[in-house]
Amino acid sequence: MPSYSLPISFVILLVVAVLFVTACHPTRVLNSVVPSGSYTVERDIPFGENERQNMDLYLPNDGNYNQDIMVFVYGGAWDQGAKEQFEFVGQAFARLGYITLIPNYRLYPEVEFPAFVDDVAMAIGEMRNHLPESCNLGDRIILSGHSAGAHTAALLAADPKYLTQYDAQDIEISALIALSGPYDLPLDHERVRNKFSKVEGDEANPIALANAKMPPTLLIHGEADTVAESAHAEKFQRRLESLSVPVTIKLYNRTRHASVVASLASPLRFLTPVYDDIQSFLIAEQLDKRCK
């Protein structure tokens, strides 16, 4: 009977994939195998006085920047996570030509909603002081996020008050890319209630706050997601369609919650087509134009 052996590189990829899918944030392993030659990082840029209020800015090495800035908000159920864990996301978007902002934000139990969203808005307002001085960079942003971060990104796109209070109301949100988010937030859920105990009305519900001025939106979700079920994305899609907001939805069969963001990393893009789907969406919306 013939014997077969797998290339060691493929075995390593499978091990990393299993680690990421079965654990919460094994991103040190993942970041260590992501190519680093295409970008530089300006780390720990402060935007507030709290030690969590700092951000990382990823810049493509070739200096050929896209006009729109990518803002990525990581998830972690509002009580965990750090920007350093998502260098693979910064690399992915920088490879496409986007200067990419990944901010930290304060976490529960130190703070409750809306502090998470306020911090991201504050970082966006401060971002323009740290961009290359060309092409009016910082006038347009693409909001993106995963899980709790997708919820924050959707709120920023739906409710202008956050950017307004940090003098960023003149920044145009040119698109929303939301991955695996809880858009119809269940406030009575055990992982939500204490973090959103001061909510009034629908102020924490992106679906309820959605309006006709929302930007073109890409919703991506795994159909095997048990953290935030894909029904959230489908309901958000229907709401945006009713408002005549351009919306595209991609549902991945047998894909779980962490796999969607994990497969943005170059070694794991075999898991889902998320990277290609995002790139196709950005091209279709003409958001891949270079700064001139």
Give the separation between CA 224 and CA 251, rounded to whole angstroms.
10
Amino acid at 27: T
pLDDT tens, residue by residue, 5-20: 444 444 345 444 444 4
Q: 200-206: list long-range contacts, CB under 8 Å, 24+ apart.
A: 203/114, 203/159, 204/113, 204/114, 204/155, 206/151, 206/154, 206/155, 206/157, 206/158, 206/181, 206/236
Residue 246 lies in a domain: yes
The total of structural domains in the chain comes to 1
| Edge-to-edge strand ranges of the sheet holding 100-103 | 39-46, 54-60, 100-103, 69-73, 140-146, 172-179, 217-222, 247-252
Residues 6+ apart with CB under 8 A from 222: 180, 230, 251, 252, 254, 255, 256, 257, 259, 260, 272
Q: 245 lies in which domain range?
A: 8-284
End-to-end Cα spacing for the chain: 62
231 occurs within a structural domain = yes
**Are 38 and 98 spatial neighbours (Cβ–Cβ below 8 Å)?**
no
CA distance 147 to 228: 7
Q: Tell whether 272 is covered by a domain.
A: yes
pTM of the model: 0.91
- For residue 2, being part of any structural domain is answered with no
Q: Residue 8 has what pLDDT?
A: 40
- Within a domain: residue 290? no
The three-state secondary structure class of 43 is strand
Evaluate whether residue 72 is within a structural domain. Answer: yes
User: Does residue 129 sit within a domain?
Assistant: yes
| Tens-digit pLDDT profile for residues 104-113 | 999 999 999 9
For residue 84, is it within any domain? yes
Q: Note down pLDDT in tens along the chain; length 292 residues.
A: 444 444 444 434 544 444 444 444 456 666 766 777 789 999 999 999 999 999 999 999 988 899 999 999 999 999 999 999 999 999 999 999 999 999 999 999 999 999 999 999 999 999 999 999 888 899 999 999 999 999 999 999 999 999 999 999 999 999 999 999 999 999 999 999 999 999 999 999 999 999 999 999 999 999 999 999 999 999 999 999 999 999 999 999 999 999 999 999 988 999 999 999 999 999 999 999 998 7
CATH number at residue 181: 3.40.50.1820
